[in-house]
Amino acid sequence: MTVRFHRDAIGALVLDIEGTTTPIAFVHDVLFPFARRLLREHLQERRRSPEAREVTRRLRGEWADDVAHGQAPPPWSDEPDAELSSVAAYVEWLMDRDRKSPGLKQLQGYIWERGYRSGALIAEVFPDVGPAVERWRGSGIVVAIYSSGSVLAQQLLFGHTTTGDMTALVDRFFDTEVGAKSSPASYQRIAAALQCTTDRLLFVSDARTELDAARQAGCRVLLCVRPGNPAQSPPPELDMIHGFDEIGIG
């Protein structure tokens, strides 16, 4: 079943990644284990780099915030000989909880970069994504990505797919630097950055909490149910698609 929109009603189309453009299994069964496996090696090799210092500073702040809010992360030591182990233990603690930590996402992006550059990682994107995005952009619609993964991680994923480099198909990439995906204000900021009113922004995701936030911001939304996604019954107010071919704009 196709969900149809008048062309003048859509100025920008914003897509989630996991479970929307890309199989959940690729993220959870390939990307996450890869980052965990190379975590300590990467930290050791890059420990004196500017990127490592920035990630450590950010993670140290998040750790302190967790402690202040009554969480129980692993202990942290600022002593030079112990700091690397503190970072690794805290990152593993965050990964165990699938936390949308900006510091974690930034670090994962750096680790995945090694994998993509070496050819150890090749991203999976559903086959309908490329042709659909080309159609939308051919109609003058701005296409953006919004994911909890860092912008670097997003660009690497779309730059190293099984069908080649797809980054030219995406006008903008957004991560949680614009705000949490569960916050309506994040979608208002994205709309402003794309020079589009929220009522002309269509957000597509597999996550109900994200869609609810986008709706509260005044955006149009579609629930994407892909193979491998958790089973869910959409409420009456949400239109559902199983692929981008079911989005009709014209």
pLDDT digits (tens, 9 = 90+) for 17-38: 999 999 999 999 999 999 999 9
Residue 164, beta-bridge partner list: 161
Residues 101 and 221 in one domain: no
Average pLDDT over the chain reads 96
Residues 166 and 53 in one domain: no
The pLDDT value recorded for residue 15 is: 98
Is there a contact between 223 and 211 (Cβ–Cβ < 8 Å)?
A: yes
Residues 133 and 220 in one domain: yes
What is the four-CA torsion angle of 19, 24, 28, 31, rounded to 10 degrees? -80
Per-residue confidence at 174, pLDDT binned at 50, 70, 90? very high
Among residues 69, 99, 118, the one where a domain terminates is 118
% pLDDT > 90, the chain: 94
Contacts of 104 (CB under 8 A, 6+ apart): 59, 91, 94, 95
Residues 147 and 229 in one domain: yes
Q: Is the pLDDT of residue 239 over 90?
A: yes
CA neighbor of 102 nearest in space, from 60, 67, 150, 57: 150
Could you tell me the CATH number of the domain that includes residue 71? 1.10.720.60
Residues 82, 86: Cα–Cα separation, whole Å:
6
Residues 199, 66: Cα–Cα separation, whole Å:
36
Q: Is the pLDDT of residue 221 over 80?
A: yes
Residues 210, 143: Cα–Cα separation, whole Å:
18
Contacts of 88 (CB under 8 A, 6+ apart): 39, 40, 43
The pLDDT value recorded for residue 236 is: 80
Per-residue confidence at 1, pLDDT binned at 50, 70, 90? confident
Among residues 103, 118, 133, the one where a domain terminates is 118
Q: Domain range holding 114? A: 28-118
pLDDT in tens, 93-117: 999 999 999 999 999 999 999 999 9
Q: Where are the alpha helices (DSSP H) in 69-150?
A: 80-96, 102-118, 129-138
pLDDT in tens, 41-83: 999 999 989 999 999 999 999 999 999 999 999 999 999 889 9
Q: Is the pLDDT of residue 235 over 80?
A: no
Residues 18 and 70 in one domain: no
Tokens (6 digits) for 98: 């699938």
Q: Is the pLDDT of residue 225 over 80?
A: yes
Could you tell me the CATH number of the domain that includes residue 18? 3.40.50.1000
Domain count, the chain: 2
CA neighbor of 19 nearest in space, from 153, 181, 206: 206
Task: Quote the pTM value.
Answer: 0.93
Q: How far is CA 52 from the centre of its chain?
A: 21
Q: How far is CA 186 from the centre of its chain?
A: 13
Residues 186, 35: Cα–Cα separation, whole Å:
27
With tokens 């750790």, the residue in question is: 63
Residues 231 and 151 in one domain: yes
Per-residue confidence at 233, pLDDT binned at 50, 70, 90? confident
Measure the N-to-C terminal CA separation of the chain; round to a whole number of Å: 16
